[in-house]
Amino acid sequence: MTTDTHPEHSEHSAHEVHPHGGHDDQHHWSDLQYIKLALALAVITALEVALSYTKDDFGALFMPLLLIMMAIKFFAVVFYFMHLKFDNRLFGLLFYTGLFLAIGVYCAALLTFHFFAP
Amino acid sequence: MADAVIHAADALTGGDAPDHVVHHTTTGLSNNKLAMWLFLGSECLLFGGLISTYMLYRGRHSENLGPDQIWDIPFTSVSSFILLMSSLTMVLAVTAARRRDDRNTKVWLCVTALLGACFVAGQVYEFTTFYREGLGFTTSLFSSSFYTLTGFHGVHVSVGIVILLSVVGMIARGRTPSDKSELVEIVGLYWHFVDIVWILIFTLVYLIPA
């Protein structure tokens, strides 16, 4: 992409032109908040492992519970550690396009091979 | 023409959002960061294909060398915990870089690389153990798809470690670009991506029974 030399843009002061490209300092978490989130993710991981050892007790709920916990961990890292929740929408668009295409490929491949057939 | 591009980009990127800030590019965003997100989007497709292949072939194994017989869940759980904590140390490096605190940035980057190295070491140990139990790369379709998926991930972690140490070297020698925090943040995006891929692999490959 070309560099814009438009005079209006060159007049932005340092605090207006954020070096990280599209997010605001007020959304940045403190170190303590990140530590709390990491601990919560560690607890969820422990719950996942515990669940895998007691799968017979949960029956049909086992798989959905495991997938929900996986999704929580996944999106917690994407939203907060990768800062996508507070970042520019275009970054999210690029990432989610790849993600949903990947899920589409996954579903198409499994359906093609009758993976979900009883 | 340039104005039209800027307006189109504003419409796409949410120009009215309060956190929208203009960069000196046609999109108003950092091109480096944009490129990294595009790369990560394409990486989703790579790992999506590998995970799909594994899910298809995970049942194609001999009776005594399947997932239920060889997985060591406690060991892999510790590896997962280590990689998860490396994401924490990475984000602490990013916040330190934002504060222009070079010393802590280097410390947290080194800790992240060390945790990543522990994870890779664990993976090498796991692969060695499986191989000694008779599970080679060509033993079955299950083993081929498993080694390919986790091996690709391990290579990504290894590349990440090299990048982290390179950034530490650049900061130590004062050879970073003017915007040091953006460099650390972009490396952080790659590292977190490696972590989220493992979150998927850990659940789909190790915890869900074959």
Identify the DSSP state of B20: -
A48 belongs to a structural domain: yes
* Whether residue A32 is found in the same domain as residue A61: yes
- CATH class in words for B30-207: mainly alpha
What 3-state class would DSSP assign to B190? Answer: helix
DSSP sequence for A35-104 = HHHHHHHHHHHHHHHHHHHSHHHHGGGHHHHHHHHHHHHHHHIIIIIS-TTTS-HHHHHHHHHHHHHHHH
**Do the Cβ atoms of B38 and A89 come within 8 Å?**
no
The reply to whether residue A82 touches residue B193, judged by beta carbons under 8 angstroms, is yes
Domain range enclosing A97: 88-118
Q: Where are the domains of chain B?
A: 30-207
Secondary structure (DSSP) of A9-33: HHT--TTTS-TTSS--GGGPPPHHH
Give pLDDT, residue A24.
52
* A92 lies in the same domain as A68: no
Domain identity same for A103 and A79: no
Residue appearing with tokens 């040091």: B180
Asked whether residue A98 falls in the same domain as residue A67, the answer is no
Supply the ipTM of this predicted assembly.
0.84
- Sort out which chain B residues have CB atoms less than 8 A from A38's CB and list them: 84-85, 87-88
Beta-carbon pairs below 8 A across chains A and B: 199
Residue range B144-172, pLDDT digits in tens: 999 999 999 999 999 999 999 999 999 99
Tell me, yes or no, whether A49 and A94 share the same domain. no
Do A72 and A110 sit in the same domain of this protein?
A: no
pLDDT value, residue A16 = 38
A40 lies in some domain: yes
Q: Into how many domains does chain A fold?
A: 2
Three-state DSSP class for residue B210: coil
Residue A4: inside a domain: no
Q: Which of B46, B40, B71 is nearest to B188 (CA)?
A: B40
Beta-carbon neighbour count of residue B129 at 10 Å? 13
